[in-house]
Structure 1
Amino acid sequence: MKTITLGAALILAISGAGWAAEGPGAHFVENWDLDGDGAVTVVEARERRSDVFASFDANEDGFLDAEEYVLFDEARAQDQAANEPQGMGRGAGNPANGMALDVNDTDGDGKVSEAEFLDNAQAWIEMIDRNGDGVVTMADFGQRR
């Protein structure tokens, strides 16, 4: 069984610069754009979600159970508090919403398998992608009109 601290998991899962320095979406793009081209694809999201899953699956059983999700939720809340731009809110387009237990537990068994978590990458990118071009860039963030 691996031991993971909230701080270490937070650094591994969602490290990076704050939004305010670069504008809405900068924090998300910096952390999820693996090839550095300014656009987050479904493939990149799936790969990064694999890293996030591994960070929080403390007992390495292939599931994020309710207890592990508490730590994951705390890390996401801390990250949001530190990096969420003014006006982003908790609405439908907020990337953090696509990481929630109830969103990822597609079979309703109270825990999230690695397959469930990774397979939700497509829907997650679609949720954030305001202009429907299939990728998420900084243009997909900011104030909604």
Structure 2
Amino acid sequence: MAHEASYRIQDEPAPSGLGHLIVNPVFPLLSVMLAGAWLALPWFAFNSFALGSPTRRKELLLVVAAPLGMMALSFGLGLLYVLLDLPKGSLPYFQVLLVVWKLAVAYWLFDLQKRSFALHEYFGGPVRNGLPVMAAGFLLKGVVLKAFGGSGWWQMVAS
């Protein structure tokens, strides 16, 4: 019985059955800004699997770390607010830190996926237009955030 040797470059994307659904990672990045993390983070994870990204584990870890980091940051900042008896005017600055966290993680995910996407696109792989999904997410943002309940905290994590 002959064994076929297979050669695979480590940073080369592995083929996936979902390859026909790959989008440019700029769409999930923009969707975190326009629709929210509720759409962008699962979309980054799905795109990672569809691309067969060699950094998939790191990307999935970041997808999980994003909301956990938001929760930890908001808890820590709330504790700081109470312990230091900060003025109410300081709360918007805390919200800016939370937005910066979300955007930083989203950009990191984009940066990890853009290399695999560039190889996929260079070798003629199919690429879907992510604009309709992003636009639908933008239009449904209010409905989705209401589903997270009245808590402004949960809405901030999902937005």
**TM-score, length of structure 1 as denominator length:** 0.31
Larger radius of gyration: 2
**TM-score, length of structure 2 as denominator length:** 0.29
- In terms of fraction of residues, the more helix-rich structure is 2
